[in-house]
Amino acid sequence: MRRNRMETIKIFDTTLRDGEQSPGASMNTEEKIQIAVQLERLGVDIIEAGFAAASPGDFDAIDKISQKVTNSTVCSLARAIDADVKAAGEAIAKAKMKRIHTFIATSSIHMEHKLKMKPDEVIKRAVRAVEYARTFVDDVEFSCEDAGRSDIGFMKEISDAVIEAGATTINLPDTVGFRLPFEIGAMVKEMSEYTKGRAIISVHNHNDLGLGVANSLEAVINGARQVECTINGLGERAGNAALEEIVMALKTRSDVFANYQTNINTKEIYPSSRLIANITGIEPQPNKAIVGKNAFAHESGIHQDGMLKNKETYEIIRPEDIGLDMDDTLVLGKHSGRAAFKDKLAKLGFTLDDEALNASFERFKIMADKKKDIYDDDLRALVTDEMTMA
Ligand code: KIV
Ligand code: ZN
């Protein structure tokens, strides 16, 4: 039987660049170095460490990260102008593996109103930027900014030109998070067939309609071999596609994505998420997939009972697979049942006979009606009380 070849999907993390563009998420150099080291431990293929021309602080952080990180490619963003490309080239000069990521908008709305340039001039600028970037590095990525709203014929034309000039990755950002999965799939399919063997097709999906991750997965199915994303989905406006969700979807649904793998060590996902939340002060929403505080919490009695019998009843991912160390993911509240209550008490070291258990459980229910979350100390106090009353 012929086996299909395993293909690696490159994970390009832009937490330090697009993620930092999230309001209130600016980080100092020390913090950026800490994050870059964690991203390297996580196993990301490319770390977009910043936008060198944006500020001396950005340049300095990229330069320092370049000296520290050895197992991931370090990348700087640059607009398609000489000064930006030069700053990017110099900032990453000391990196063991380095990439310049240059971009220019390709949608009519951006070319006409923002750039005030004709399509021919846009192609010339893109080619010049890529050629100049190649004087610093071999690895050059070119992005058609606002690809989601660009004419595909024009993207083919500009891709031909920049590949000829030396670009090795063509990124197709859905800059304003406008597209639906089937549309991204069709665009990626057409572009990857068109550029086959000449460049890697990458996607960079924003989350304005909450579709960043779905669009990225559809892109993989249709030929994208690099996905750009951020930890906790941080990024401009509604953010970028979340790294942890893409990676865990690929892993959990290995039946669908049987021929694809990533280099991510998923056990470093939770530590990475916590580091970014602690540094930026931006907590993922409690019900955020994979890393939210409630992502592995089972509150209702029926769910808790199922979990106690077999975790697979309500859990599609094991917390330990993302590096979440929790012996017990059960949170007790007013919906909790007797089985979960008894199990929790056993974990706290209490073994009660039936009568004491029933009495404690009744008191627990009264407490839970008044108090949303019941902590271990509340339970200890309740049971100790029950025992002294008995
Ligand atoms: O969203 C976007 O288009 C970008 C580009 C600079 C890649 O962030
Ligand atoms: Zn972006």
The protein residue whose alpha carbon is closest to atom 1 in ligand 1 is 175
Tell me the pTM: 0.87
**CA-wise closest residue to 15 among 62, 42, 49, 52:** 49
- Which residue do the tokens 């309609």 mark? 209
Cα 224 to Cα 262: distance, rounded to the nearest angstrom: 13
Kindly give the number of the ligand 1 atom that is closest to the alpha carbon of 228: 7
Cα 379 to Cα 253: distance, rounded to the nearest angstrom: 38
pLDDT grade for 249, boundaries at 50, 70 and 90: very high
Cα 59 to Cα 51: distance, rounded to the nearest angstrom: 7
Q: Is the CB of 148 under 6 A from ligand 1?
A: no
Distinct helix (H) and strand (E) counts, the chain: 14, 10
CA of 128 to the centre of ligand 2 (A): 22
User: Tens digit of pLDDT for each residue in 26-45?
Assistant: 899 999 999 999 999 999 99
Indicate if the alpha-carbon torsion angle 367, 370, 373, 375 is positive or negative.
Answer: negative
User: Tens digit of pLDDT for each residue in 124-145?
Assistant: 999 999 999 999 999 999 999 9
Indicate if the alpha-carbon torsion angle 138, 101, 249, 333 is positive or negative.
Answer: positive
pLDDT of residue 292: 96
Q: Is the CB of 173 under 6 A from ligand 1?
A: yes
pLDDT grade for 330, boundaries at 50, 70 and 90: low
Read off the tokens for 221: 């199915």
Q: Is the CB of 18 under 6 A from ligand 1?
A: yes
232 labeled binding residue: no
Mutate to test the pocket of ligand 1, among 75, 77, 115, 172 (most ligand atoms within 8 A of CB): 77
Identity of the residue numbered 385: D
pLDDT grade for 243, boundaries at 50, 70 and 90: very high
pLDDT of residue 388: 64
Q: What does residue 96 show for φ and ψ, rounded to 5 degrees?
A: -70, -45
Q: Is the CB of 239 under 6 A from ligand 1?
A: no
Using the predicted structure, report yes or no on whether residue 390 has a pLDDT greater than 70. Answer: no
Q: Which of 49-58, 246-255, 348-357 has the lowest mean pLDDT?
A: 348-357
Per the CB < 8 A criterion, the answer to whether 368 and 375 are in contact is no
Per the CB < 8 A criterion, the answer to whether 284 and 275 are in contact is no
Cα 77 to Cα 302: distance, rounded to the nearest angstrom: 50
Cα 103 to Cα 241: distance, rounded to the nearest angstrom: 19
Read off the tokens for 116: 């005030």
Identity of the residue numbered 282: I
Cα 152 to Cα 228: distance, rounded to the nearest angstrom: 20
The ipTM of this complex is 0.99
Mean of all residue pLDDT scores within the chain: 94
Identity of the residue numbered 124: K
206 labeled binding residue: yes
The protein residue whose alpha carbon is closest to atom 2 in ligand 1 is 175
pLDDT grade for 267, boundaries at 50, 70 and 90: very high
Q: Which of 14-18, 107-111, 272-276, 336-340 has the lowest mean pLDDT?
A: 336-340
- Average pLDDT (297-309) is 86
Kindly give the number of the ligand 1 atom that is closest to the alpha carbon of 240: 1
What is the DSSP pairing of strand 73-79 with strand 140-145? unpaired
